[in-house]
Amino acid sequence: MDNMYRPAGGADPQDSRSNEQFRAAPPGPSGPAPQRPGAQQPPSLQQHYARDRRHAMRWSIGLTLARKALTIWGIEVSHESVACAIENAELNGIANAAFFAGEVGRSLEALRERAGEPDVVVVDPPRAGLSAKIVRRIIEAGPSRIVYVSCNPTTLAPNAAQLVEAGYELKRVSPVDMFPQTPHIECVAVLDRR
């Protein structure tokens, strides 16, 4: 693993959901969230707000799950995202989470050696979906469940097909319209090992 970080330091909360607070970091490599065509707000304000909220949401998934899990391990290529996750964990009193900055394909293998096999893997890839290498690493880890949060159903489909071919069963896919009046839609897929 390239770098491991643990929660430390204070945070300036900018976002709050269901009694949890999340500070948003600058936009990551996936770029800005989709915008409604013809929006009337000044572009810079609207884009920063959308990017910041989307960035915070990435880590809110794992940190929300941490309350019901023994341990949460997060891997992200962006050091800024990892720093934001650490602040959000501390802000919410979450001590059972650790975060790694590094390329997911390489870091996942090192994490398995250190922490053992995962029970559940939650992925939230960029629009391009998961690379073949990352799908292969997830399959090698052999979790009993995979939760795939997708911002692009056209890349979810081939990734899900690879996982089904490897012995997982697609249990359900739920579309979520987080960006009304745009062509963008999120999907959450649940796959269980057969």
- Average pLDDT per 10 consecutive residues for the chain, totaling 194 residues: 40 45 53 46 37 49 88 88 89 91 85 88 92 93 95 95 98 93 92 97
Q: Tens digit of pLDDT for each residue in 106-148? A: 888 888 888 888 999 999 999 999 999 999 999 999 999 999 9
Q: What is the pLDDT of residue 23?
A: 59
Q: What is the pLDDT of residue 24?
A: 56
Query: Which residues are tagged catalytic?
Result: 151
Nearest to 61 by CA among 143, 163, 144, 149: 149
Write down the architecture of domain 118-194 according to CATH.
3-Layer(aba) Sandwich (3.40)
pTM of the model: 0.72
Q: What is the pLDDT of residue 15?
A: 39
Q: What is the pLDDT of residue 67?
A: 86
The domain spans of the chain are 1-116, 118-194
Q: What is the pLDDT of residue 166?
A: 97
